[in-house]
Structure 1
Amino acid sequence: MGIVTEDGTHELHLASVFADGTRGASYRGVGADAQVQTSYDLDGSSLAEWHRSWRSVDDVVAYALTCDCSTTTATSGRLGGSRSTVLARWERVGKADEEDLDAGRVYAAPGQDAMDLSDRPDVEAAMRRHWDEHLTPGQRTAQLEAAWRRHRQALADVDDAVAAARAAGLSWVDIGRATGMTRQSARERWS
Protein backbone atom coordinates (compact mmCIF):
# COMPACT_ATOMS: atom_id res chain seq x y z
CA MET A 1 0.00 0.00 0.00
CA GLY A 2 2.69 2.47 0.96
CA ILE A 3 0.67 5.29 2.56
CA VAL A 4 3.17 7.82 3.94
CA THR A 5 2.66 10.68 6.39
CA GLU A 6 3.35 14.16 5.07
CA ASP A 7 6.59 14.45 7.01
CA GLY A 8 7.73 11.02 5.78
CA THR A 9 8.23 9.53 9.24
CA HIS A 10 5.59 6.80 8.97
CA GLU A 11 4.77 4.41 6.12
CA LEU A 12 1.85 2.00 6.33
CA HIS A 13 1.82 -1.27 4.43
CA LEU A 14 0.53 -4.82 4.58
CA ALA A 15 3.25 -7.48 4.76
CA SER A 16 2.95 -11.20 4.10
CA VAL A 17 3.78 -13.52 7.02
CA PHE A 18 5.08 -17.07 6.59
CA ALA A 19 4.81 -20.02 8.99
CA ASP A 20 8.41 -19.47 10.18
CA GLY A 21 7.54 -15.87 11.17
CA THR A 22 9.47 -14.12 8.41
CA ARG A 23 7.68 -11.28 6.63
CA GLY A 24 7.90 -9.86 3.16
CA ALA A 25 6.46 -7.06 1.06
CA SER A 26 8.20 -7.29 -2.33
CA TYR A 27 6.25 -9.14 -5.02
CA ARG A 28 6.81 -10.59 -8.47
CA GLY A 29 4.65 -12.60 -10.82
CA VAL A 30 0.87 -12.99 -10.92
CA GLY A 31 -1.69 -15.66 -10.10
CA ALA A 32 -0.22 -19.13 -9.51
CA ASP A 33 3.29 -17.76 -10.25
CA ALA A 34 3.06 -14.90 -7.73
CA GLN A 35 5.86 -14.77 -5.18
CA VAL A 36 6.83 -12.64 -2.21
CA GLN A 37 10.38 -11.98 -1.02
CA THR A 38 11.14 -12.48 2.67
CA SER A 39 12.51 -9.18 3.99
CA TYR A 40 12.10 -9.18 7.78
CA ASP A 41 12.99 -11.64 10.53
CA LEU A 42 10.79 -12.67 13.47
CA ASP A 43 11.71 -9.55 15.47
CA GLY A 44 11.09 -7.16 12.55
CA SER A 45 14.74 -6.58 11.75
CA SER A 46 15.67 -6.46 8.10
CA LEU A 47 17.12 -9.68 6.68
CA ALA A 48 20.50 -9.50 5.02
CA GLU A 49 20.28 -9.82 1.24
CA TRP A 50 21.77 -13.33 1.27
CA HIS A 51 19.12 -14.51 3.78
CA ARG A 52 16.20 -13.36 1.65
CA SER A 53 14.25 -15.81 -0.49
CA TRP A 54 11.31 -15.81 -2.88
CA ARG A 55 8.29 -17.84 -1.77
CA SER A 56 4.85 -18.50 -3.21
CA VAL A 57 2.11 -16.15 -2.07
CA ASP A 58 0.06 -19.27 -1.41
CA ASP A 59 2.50 -20.12 1.44
CA VAL A 60 1.47 -16.96 3.31
CA VAL A 61 -0.30 -17.84 6.59
CA ALA A 62 -1.10 -14.31 7.79
CA TYR A 63 -0.76 -10.62 6.99
CA ALA A 64 0.91 -8.07 9.26
CA LEU A 65 -0.25 -4.48 9.11
CA THR A 66 3.00 -2.64 9.68
CA CYS A 67 4.23 0.90 10.01
CA ASP A 68 7.81 1.65 9.13
CA CYS A 69 8.48 4.40 11.66
CA SER A 70 11.50 6.66 11.26
CA THR A 71 12.92 8.51 14.20
CA THR A 72 14.10 12.09 14.16
CA THR A 73 17.10 13.13 16.20
CA ALA A 74 16.45 16.05 18.54
CA THR A 75 19.69 17.84 17.69
CA SER A 76 19.77 17.65 13.90
CA GLY A 77 16.09 17.23 13.04
CA ARG A 78 17.19 14.62 10.49
CA LEU A 79 15.80 11.17 10.19
CA GLY A 80 17.69 8.69 12.31
CA GLY A 81 16.94 4.99 12.44
CA SER A 82 13.73 3.22 11.60
CA ARG A 83 11.75 0.30 12.92
CA SER A 84 8.95 -1.82 11.59
CA THR A 85 6.04 -1.83 14.03
CA VAL A 86 3.29 -4.44 13.68
CA LEU A 87 -0.05 -2.73 14.27
CA ALA A 88 -2.29 -5.73 13.63
CA ARG A 89 -2.09 -9.29 12.38
CA TRP A 90 -4.75 -10.95 10.27
CA GLU A 91 -4.69 -14.73 9.94
CA ARG A 92 -5.35 -15.96 6.41
CA VAL A 93 -8.53 -18.01 6.12
CA GLY A 94 -9.48 -20.38 3.32
CA LYS A 95 -13.06 -19.24 2.70
CA ALA A 96 -14.56 -15.80 2.17
CA ASP A 97 -17.33 -16.44 4.69
CA GLU A 98 -14.70 -17.04 7.43
CA GLU A 99 -13.33 -13.52 7.07
CA ASP A 100 -13.77 -11.10 9.98
CA LEU A 101 -11.25 -8.24 9.97
CA ASP A 102 -12.23 -7.12 13.48
CA ALA A 103 -11.52 -10.64 14.76
CA GLY A 104 -8.18 -10.81 12.92
CA ARG A 105 -9.16 -13.03 9.98
CA VAL A 106 -8.87 -12.13 6.29
CA TYR A 107 -9.61 -14.13 3.15
CA ALA A 108 -7.07 -14.15 0.33
CA ALA A 109 -7.81 -16.22 -2.76
CA PRO A 110 -5.06 -18.46 -4.14
CA GLY A 111 -2.47 -16.35 -5.95
CA GLN A 112 -3.63 -13.16 -4.22
CA ASP A 113 -0.93 -11.07 -2.56
CA ALA A 114 -1.01 -8.43 0.16
CA MET A 115 -1.06 -5.61 -2.39
CA ASP A 116 -4.29 -7.05 -3.83
CA LEU A 117 -5.77 -7.18 -0.32
CA SER A 118 -4.78 -3.62 0.56
CA ASP A 119 -6.59 -2.39 -2.56
CA ARG A 120 -9.90 -3.65 -1.15
CA PRO A 121 -11.85 -0.69 0.33
CA ASP A 122 -12.81 -2.62 3.50
CA VAL A 123 -9.23 -3.74 4.13
CA GLU A 124 -7.84 -0.27 3.44
CA ALA A 125 -10.36 1.27 5.86
CA ALA A 126 -9.39 -1.23 8.58
CA MET A 127 -5.71 -0.53 7.93
CA ARG A 128 -6.24 3.22 8.27
CA ARG A 129 -8.16 2.76 11.55
CA HIS A 130 -5.23 0.87 13.07
CA TRP A 131 -2.75 3.40 11.70
CA ASP A 132 -4.70 6.36 13.09
CA GLU A 133 -4.57 4.73 16.53
CA HIS A 134 -0.81 4.29 16.12
CA LEU A 135 0.14 7.83 15.17
CA THR A 136 1.36 9.75 18.18
CA PRO A 137 -0.13 13.05 19.36
CA GLY A 138 3.10 14.70 18.15
CA GLN A 139 2.50 13.27 14.68
CA ARG A 140 -1.06 14.56 14.73
CA THR A 141 0.23 17.98 15.78
CA ALA A 142 2.69 17.98 12.87
CA GLN A 143 -0.13 17.09 10.46
CA LEU A 144 -2.27 19.91 11.86
CA GLU A 145 0.60 22.39 11.59
CA ALA A 146 1.22 21.40 7.96
CA ALA A 147 -2.48 21.78 7.13
CA TRP A 148 -2.53 25.22 8.80
CA ARG A 149 0.53 26.32 6.73
CA ARG A 150 -1.23 25.21 3.53
CA HIS A 151 -4.40 27.07 4.62
CA ARG A 152 -2.47 30.28 5.30
CA GLN A 153 -0.69 30.01 1.95
CA ALA A 154 -4.03 29.51 0.19
CA LEU A 155 -5.39 32.65 1.87
CA ALA A 156 -2.30 34.59 0.73
CA ASP A 157 -2.81 33.25 -2.80
CA VAL A 158 -6.41 34.50 -2.77
CA ASP A 159 -5.25 37.93 -1.58
CA ASP A 160 -2.73 38.06 -4.46
CA ALA A 161 -5.36 36.94 -6.97
CA VAL A 162 -7.79 39.63 -5.79
CA ALA A 163 -5.10 42.31 -6.11
CA ALA A 164 -4.31 41.11 -9.64
CA ALA A 165 -8.03 41.02 -10.53
CA ARG A 166 -8.53 44.58 -9.27
CA ALA A 167 -5.44 45.74 -11.20
CA ALA A 168 -6.93 44.11 -14.31
CA GLY A 169 -10.16 46.09 -13.80
CA LEU A 170 -12.53 43.50 -12.33
CA SER A 171 -15.35 44.93 -10.26
CA TRP A 172 -16.14 44.10 -6.63
CA VAL A 173 -19.26 42.34 -7.94
CA ASP A 174 -17.05 40.02 -10.06
CA ILE A 175 -14.65 39.42 -7.19
CA GLY A 176 -17.49 38.82 -4.73
CA ARG A 177 -19.11 36.30 -7.09
CA ALA A 178 -15.78 34.46 -7.59
CA THR A 179 -15.15 34.26 -3.85
CA GLY A 180 -18.68 33.39 -2.76
CA MET A 181 -19.54 36.64 -1.05
CA THR A 182 -21.37 39.87 -1.72
CA ARG A 183 -19.80 42.85 -3.47
CA GLN A 184 -19.79 44.76 -0.21
CA SER A 185 -18.15 41.92 1.77
CA ALA A 186 -15.46 41.52 -0.89
CA ARG A 187 -14.75 45.25 -0.90
CA GLU A 188 -14.55 45.39 2.90
CA ARG A 189 -12.21 42.41 3.01
CA TRP A 190 -9.76 43.43 0.28
CA SER A 191 -9.85 47.21 -0.07
Structure 2
Amino acid sequence: MGRMGPVVGDQAHEGWVVPVFADGAQGAGSTSARGVLVARRRDDGPRNGDRVRLTYRDGCTVEGAWQDGAVIGGDGIVHHTGGQVRREVIDEAEEWRPAAEVVGWVAGCTCGWRGTHWTRVPAPELADPASRRLAVTGPWVDLAADDEKRVMLEWRRHIEPWQTLEDVEQAAVRQAAAACALDDAVYAARAAGASWPAIGRATGVTCRSALERWSAGG
Protein backbone atom coordinates (compact mmCIF):
# COMPACT_ATOMS: atom_id res chain seq x y z
CA MET A 1 0.00 0.00 0.00
CA GLY A 2 2.70 2.49 0.92
CA ARG A 3 5.39 3.20 3.47
CA MET A 4 5.72 1.11 6.59
CA GLY A 5 5.74 3.17 9.76
CA PRO A 6 6.00 2.24 13.43
CA VAL A 7 3.77 -0.28 15.18
CA VAL A 8 3.02 0.75 18.76
CA GLY A 9 0.82 -1.56 20.78
CA ASP A 10 -1.63 -2.98 18.25
CA GLN A 11 -1.74 0.14 16.07
CA ALA A 12 0.18 0.20 12.79
CA HIS A 13 1.08 3.49 11.13
CA GLU A 14 1.45 2.72 7.44
CA GLY A 15 1.39 5.73 5.16
CA TRP A 16 0.36 6.26 1.55
CA VAL A 17 -0.75 8.96 -0.88
CA VAL A 18 -4.56 9.10 -0.86
CA PRO A 19 -6.34 10.25 -4.05
CA VAL A 20 -9.25 12.62 -3.36
CA PHE A 21 -12.40 13.16 -5.45
CA ALA A 22 -14.52 16.30 -5.80
CA ASP A 23 -17.26 14.95 -3.50
CA GLY A 24 -14.76 14.21 -0.72
CA ALA A 25 -14.51 10.49 -1.41
CA GLN A 26 -11.01 9.05 -1.10
CA GLY A 27 -9.09 6.26 -2.76
CA ALA A 28 -8.52 3.05 -0.83
CA GLY A 29 -4.94 2.61 -2.01
CA SER A 30 -5.60 0.41 -5.06
CA THR A 31 -5.44 1.49 -8.70
CA SER A 32 -5.79 -0.57 -11.85
CA ALA A 33 -7.06 -0.34 -15.40
CA ARG A 34 -10.51 -0.04 -13.78
CA GLY A 35 -9.47 3.22 -12.13
CA VAL A 36 -9.22 4.05 -8.43
CA LEU A 37 -10.87 1.90 -5.76
CA VAL A 38 -12.95 4.15 -3.50
CA ALA A 39 -12.57 3.69 0.25
CA ARG A 40 -15.56 3.06 2.48
CA ARG A 41 -16.06 5.62 5.21
CA ARG A 42 -17.11 4.56 8.68
CA ASP A 43 -20.35 6.54 8.51
CA ASP A 44 -21.27 5.27 5.04
CA GLY A 45 -24.54 3.42 4.80
CA PRO A 46 -25.10 0.59 2.32
CA ARG A 47 -24.13 1.25 -1.28
CA ASN A 48 -25.93 -0.02 -4.33
CA GLY A 49 -24.68 -3.53 -4.99
CA ASP A 50 -23.86 -4.36 -1.36
CA ARG A 51 -25.28 -7.59 -0.01
CA VAL A 52 -27.42 -6.66 2.99
CA ARG A 53 -29.23 -8.61 5.68
CA LEU A 54 -32.47 -7.18 7.12
CA THR A 55 -33.66 -8.36 10.53
CA TYR A 56 -37.28 -7.63 11.44
CA ARG A 57 -38.78 -7.27 14.91
CA ASP A 58 -40.11 -10.84 14.86
CA GLY A 59 -36.61 -12.20 14.17
CA CYS A 60 -37.17 -12.98 10.51
CA THR A 61 -34.28 -12.13 8.20
CA VAL A 62 -33.98 -11.36 4.52
CA GLU A 63 -30.81 -11.10 2.46
CA GLY A 64 -30.35 -9.49 -0.91
CA ALA A 65 -28.73 -6.76 -2.96
CA TRP A 66 -29.07 -3.15 -1.81
CA GLN A 67 -30.52 -0.87 -4.45
CA ASP A 68 -31.69 2.70 -3.84
CA GLY A 69 -32.79 2.20 -0.25
CA ALA A 70 -34.34 -1.26 -0.59
CA VAL A 71 -33.15 -4.87 -0.60
CA ILE A 72 -33.87 -7.02 -3.65
CA GLY A 73 -33.98 -10.69 -2.71
CA GLY A 74 -32.88 -13.55 -4.89
CA ASP A 75 -36.52 -14.11 -5.83
CA GLY A 76 -36.78 -10.55 -7.13
CA ILE A 77 -39.02 -9.39 -4.27
CA VAL A 78 -38.27 -5.86 -3.07
CA HIS A 79 -38.01 -5.52 0.71
CA HIS A 80 -38.27 -1.99 2.06
CA THR A 81 -36.34 -0.91 5.13
CA GLY A 82 -38.78 1.46 6.81
CA GLY A 83 -39.83 0.97 10.43
CA GLN A 84 -37.89 -0.94 13.05
CA VAL A 85 -35.68 -3.02 10.81
CA ARG A 86 -32.02 -3.67 11.54
CA ARG A 87 -29.83 -3.74 8.46
CA GLU A 88 -26.35 -5.19 8.20
CA VAL A 89 -23.94 -5.08 5.29
CA ILE A 90 -22.54 -8.59 4.94
CA ASP A 91 -20.65 -8.17 1.66
CA GLU A 92 -19.45 -4.82 0.33
CA ALA A 93 -19.54 -4.04 -3.37
CA GLU A 94 -16.47 -2.36 -4.79
CA GLU A 95 -16.74 1.12 -6.26
CA TRP A 96 -14.20 2.15 -8.87
CA ARG A 97 -13.88 5.62 -10.37
CA PRO A 98 -11.81 6.89 -13.31
CA ALA A 99 -8.41 8.22 -12.27
CA ALA A 100 -9.15 11.34 -14.32
CA GLU A 101 -11.77 12.30 -11.69
CA VAL A 102 -9.13 12.66 -8.96
CA VAL A 103 -8.88 16.33 -7.96
CA GLY A 104 -6.05 16.10 -5.46
CA TRP A 105 -4.22 14.11 -2.83
CA VAL A 106 -3.60 13.94 0.90
CA ALA A 107 -1.14 11.93 2.92
CA GLY A 108 -2.91 9.13 4.78
CA CYS A 109 -2.14 6.77 7.64
CA THR A 110 -3.75 3.47 8.59
CA CYS A 111 -4.53 4.96 12.02
CA GLY A 112 -7.11 7.20 10.29
CA TRP A 113 -5.08 10.42 10.17
CA ARG A 114 -5.18 12.51 6.98
CA GLY A 115 -2.92 15.35 5.95
CA THR A 116 -3.57 18.68 4.23
CA HIS A 117 -5.01 18.71 0.71
CA TRP A 118 -2.84 19.06 -2.39
CA THR A 119 -4.64 20.21 -5.54
CA ARG A 120 -4.27 18.52 -8.92
CA VAL A 121 -3.61 20.79 -11.90
CA PRO A 122 -3.76 19.65 -15.54
CA ALA A 123 -0.43 20.95 -16.83
CA PRO A 124 3.14 21.17 -15.48
CA GLU A 125 3.29 24.93 -16.06
CA LEU A 126 0.41 25.34 -13.58
CA ALA A 127 2.14 23.36 -10.85
CA ASP A 128 3.40 25.21 -7.78
CA PRO A 129 4.45 22.99 -4.84
CA ALA A 130 4.72 26.06 -2.60
CA SER A 131 0.98 26.59 -3.14
CA ARG A 132 0.25 22.84 -2.84
CA ARG A 133 -0.55 22.45 -6.55
CA LEU A 134 0.82 19.37 -8.31
CA ALA A 135 0.50 18.30 -11.94
CA VAL A 136 -0.35 14.86 -13.27
CA THR A 137 -1.05 14.78 -16.99
CA GLY A 138 -3.14 12.21 -18.82
CA PRO A 139 -5.60 9.79 -17.24
CA TRP A 140 -3.23 8.55 -14.52
CA VAL A 141 -3.16 9.53 -10.88
CA ASP A 142 0.35 8.51 -9.75
CA LEU A 143 2.53 11.40 -8.63
CA ALA A 144 6.12 11.93 -9.70
CA ALA A 145 8.63 10.70 -7.12
CA ASP A 146 9.56 14.20 -5.91
CA ASP A 147 5.92 15.22 -5.58
CA GLU A 148 5.10 12.04 -3.68
CA LYS A 149 7.87 12.87 -1.22
CA ARG A 150 6.38 16.34 -0.75
CA VAL A 151 2.97 14.90 0.10
CA MET A 152 4.37 12.22 2.40
CA LEU A 153 6.58 14.63 4.35
CA GLU A 154 3.54 15.53 6.45
CA TRP A 155 2.97 11.85 7.26
CA ARG A 156 6.58 11.50 8.39
CA ARG A 157 6.03 14.37 10.81
CA HIS A 158 2.80 12.73 11.95
CA ILE A 159 4.51 9.44 12.89
CA GLU A 160 7.49 10.97 14.72
CA PRO A 161 5.94 10.57 18.21
CA TRP A 162 5.03 6.93 17.52
CA GLN A 163 8.40 6.26 15.93
CA THR A 164 10.14 7.29 19.14
CA LEU A 165 7.75 5.12 21.17
CA GLU A 166 8.50 2.16 18.93
CA ASP A 167 12.21 2.78 19.57
CA VAL A 168 11.50 2.70 23.32
CA GLU A 169 9.54 -0.56 22.98
CA GLN A 170 12.32 -2.20 20.98
CA ALA A 171 14.96 -1.02 23.46
CA ALA A 172 12.89 -2.45 26.32
CA VAL A 173 12.65 -5.81 24.52
CA ARG A 174 16.42 -5.87 24.00
CA GLN A 175 16.99 -4.96 27.64
CA ALA A 176 14.68 -7.73 28.84
CA ALA A 177 16.44 -10.25 26.58
CA ALA A 178 19.84 -9.13 27.88
CA ALA A 179 18.61 -9.48 31.48
CA CYS A 180 17.46 -13.04 30.79
CA ALA A 181 20.80 -13.88 29.18
CA LEU A 182 22.63 -12.46 32.21
CA ASP A 183 20.48 -14.52 34.58
CA ASP A 184 21.26 -17.68 32.62
CA ALA A 185 24.98 -16.89 32.62
CA VAL A 186 25.02 -16.28 36.38
CA TYR A 187 23.18 -19.54 37.11
CA ALA A 188 25.61 -21.41 34.86
CA ALA A 189 28.57 -19.79 36.65
CA ARG A 190 27.17 -20.76 40.04
CA ALA A 191 26.61 -24.32 38.85
CA ALA A 192 30.25 -24.40 37.76
CA GLY A 193 31.37 -23.32 41.25
CA ALA A 194 31.81 -19.53 40.93
CA SER A 195 31.56 -17.64 44.23
CA TRP A 196 29.17 -14.76 44.91
CA PRO A 197 32.05 -12.26 45.28
CA ALA A 198 33.36 -13.36 41.86
CA ILE A 199 29.91 -13.03 40.29
CA GLY A 200 29.53 -9.58 41.85
CA ARG A 201 32.81 -8.45 40.34
CA ALA A 202 31.86 -9.87 36.92
CA THR A 203 28.49 -8.12 36.89
CA GLY A 204 29.66 -4.85 38.41
CA VAL A 205 27.64 -5.12 41.62
CA THR A 206 28.45 -5.92 45.21
CA CYS A 207 28.54 -9.47 46.51
CA ARG A 208 25.42 -8.75 48.57
CA SER A 209 23.52 -7.36 45.56
CA ALA A 210 24.47 -10.38 43.47
CA LEU A 211 23.33 -12.72 46.23
CA GLU A 212 19.99 -10.91 46.64
CA ARG A 213 19.27 -10.93 42.90
CA TRP A 214 20.30 -14.43 41.91
CA SER A 215 20.46 -16.66 44.99
CA ALA A 216 16.91 -17.96 44.50
CA GLY A 217 17.82 -19.38 41.12
CA GLY A 218 21.35 -20.47 41.73
TM-score, normalised to structure 1, is 0.55
* CA distance 1:94–1:3, shift in 2 (3 Å): same
By how many angstroms is 1:39 displaced? 1.1
In the alignment of these two chains, the number of paired residues is 129
Aligned pair partner of 1:105 in 122, 133, 144: 133
- Report matched runs for 1:38-57 at 5 Å: 38-41=38-41, 50=50, 52-57=94-99
- Name the SS of the counterpart of 2:118 in structure 1: strand
* CA distance 1:4–1:47, shift in 2 (3 Å): farther
Partner of 1:18: 21
CA contact (8 A) 1:66 1:88 kept: no
* CA distance 1:10–1:110, shift in 2 (3 Å): same
Partner of 1:75: none
1:12-42 deviations in Å (ceiling 9; x for gaps)? 111211111111132111xxxx51121144x
Partner of 1:135: 159
By how many angstroms is 1:6 displaced? 3.7
1:145-189 deviations in Å (ceiling 9; x for gaps)? 36757998xxxxxxxxxxxxxxxxxxxxxxxxxxxxxxxxxxxxx
Partner of 2:203: none
**Same amino acid, percent of matched pairs:** 25
- Name the SS of the counterpart of 2:100 in structure 1: helix
Structure 1 CA distance, aligned partners of 2:13 and 2:105?
A: 19
Larger radius of gyration: 2
Q: Which structure shows the higher helix fraction?
A: 1
CA contact (8 A) 2:6 2:163 kept: no
Structure 1 CA distance, aligned partners of 2:164 and 2:148?
A: 23
- Report matched runs for 1:61-100 at 5 Å: 61-69=103-111, 84-100=112-128
- Report matched runs for 1:178-189 at 5 Å: none
Partner of 1:145: 168
Q: Which runs of 5+ in 2 are unaligned?
A: 51-92, 176-218
Q: 2:134 aligned with 1:124, yes or no?
A: no
Q: Which amino acid aligns with 2:128?
A: D
Structure 2 CA distance, aligned partners of 1:142 and 1:16?
A: 29
* CA distance 1:47–1:10, shift in 2 (3 Å): farther
TM-score, normalised to structure 2, is 0.49
Q: Which amino acid aligns with 1:55?
A: R
* RMSD of aligned residue pairs (Cα, Å): 3.0
By how many angstroms is 1:142 displaced? 2.5
